[in-house]
Amino acid sequence: MKKTQAPLLVTKHLKTSFKINDHYYQALDDVNLTVNPGEFLAIVGESGCGKSTFANTIMGLLDEHDSKVSGSAVFEGQELTKLTETGYDEIRGLKLSMIFQDPLSALNPLKRIANQIDEVMAYHTDLSKTERYQRVLKLLAEVGIHDPKRTARQFPHQLSGGMRQRVMIAMAVACKPDLIIADEPTTALDVTIQAQILDLLRRVQQENHTSIILITHDLGVVAETADRVAVMYAGQIVESGSVQQIFKEPQHPYTRSLLRSIPQIDNATDDLYVIQGNVPSLQKMPATGDRFAPRIPWIPASAHEDLPVMHDLGDGHQVRCTCYRQFYFKEDQRA
């Protein structure tokens, strides 16, 4: 059952800049995203596209001395960009949680697992110590830890990578938050464990009706997991839509290139498609034009907009720039 029909998180014209050598450079540019209650949104893009910056902006984890945020991010009616540190303390862990890529550095190496999960409940709930311990064991069992009592006594270094990530998920869901941001939660894990962790996140979303934003560079992991996908390139959302739209009718050349780069099991003899070039650094970000254009030089300049905007394709499918209308792969054209 839905807790509320209103969107959970709405960002409008959200921009984040970082100070480098006394100048501010934009890492997030005009990000407009909506996350509905109980929805699983994936944000996908190569390394350096701004995905973690988005997560850190929403979670209030940026260093205010070297970053600037403008625009709006409203979470459950609260404007996050104006929230003080004390305000964030009230909602982080309770309404808004984060799962990091590297649980070993996110967990405290000197504290037993039980104490780390207990902390968030001690801060946000009125449960007694005994009740909290019972909940720690229940949470550990729910995230697939076979011997919760034993794991509760252990330190992070005594656990495998997959178990540590399960513990992080137990911590993140301890107070049943409304939104969890998982930043590359499976990147450091092998493929089998990766699938288990994604299944677990999906289960958390369905059982607790929690919204999840999954941040990943791997479009391949998204198809089975997410409801909607936002593709990010060089600090901008270049395409967004349902999983079906993104996988069956991808429009932006960047989305199509990412899809083509996914290894296909039934296509083992074909060479893997590699997107040529790199994501521009913040200092080299072009002020105008399609930011992906330099990586598809065979597409005529006239196909791109000078100041690309989002185009509505219907049913919630959006794409930036008109170049998608004339996009083709150079290799296909030669064939």
**Of 50, 241, 253, 308, which lies in the binding site for ligand ATP, with binding defined by CB under 6 A?**
50
Nearer to ligand ATP by Cβ, of 150 and 284: the residue is 284
| Smallest distance from ligand ATP to CB 28, Å | 8
60 is an interface residue for ligand ATP by CB under 6 A? no
Give the count of beta carbons closer than 10 Å to the beta carbon of residue 273.
16
Regarding 53 and contact with ligand ATP (CB under 6 A), the answer is: yes
Of residues 279-298, those binding ligand ATP (CB under 6 A): 281-282
Task: State the nearest-atom distance from the C-beta of 42 to ligand ATP, in Å.
Answer: 13
Could you tell me the smallest distance in angstroms from the CB atom of residue 73 to ligand ATP? 15
Q: What CA–CA distance (Å, rounded) separates 112 from 117?
A: 9
- Cα–Cα distance, 28 to 230 (Å, whole number): 14
Stretch that binds ligand ATP, among 4-12, 51-59, 106-114, 298-306 (CB under 6 A): 51-59
Among 14, 15, 35, 51, binds ligand ATP (CB under 6 A): 51
Binding part of the chain for ligand ATP, among 44-52, 148-156, 291-299, 308-316 by CB under 6 A, reads: 44-52
Virtual torsion, Cα 136, 108, 63, 125, nearest 10 deg = 20
Please state, in angstroms and as integers, the Cα–Cα distance from residue 259 to each residue in 44, 64, 145, 272, 310, following that order: 11, 36, 34, 11, 20
The tokens describing 289, both together, are 């034009």
Strand partners, 10: 34, 74
The rounded Cα 221 to chain-centroid distance in angstroms is 12
59 sits near ligand ATP (criterion: CB under 6 A): no
The residues near 59 (Cβ < 8 Å, ≥ 6 apart) are 88, 92, 96, 98, 181
The contact set with ligand ATP (CB under 6 A) reads 18, 20, 27, 45, 47-53, 66, 217, 281-282
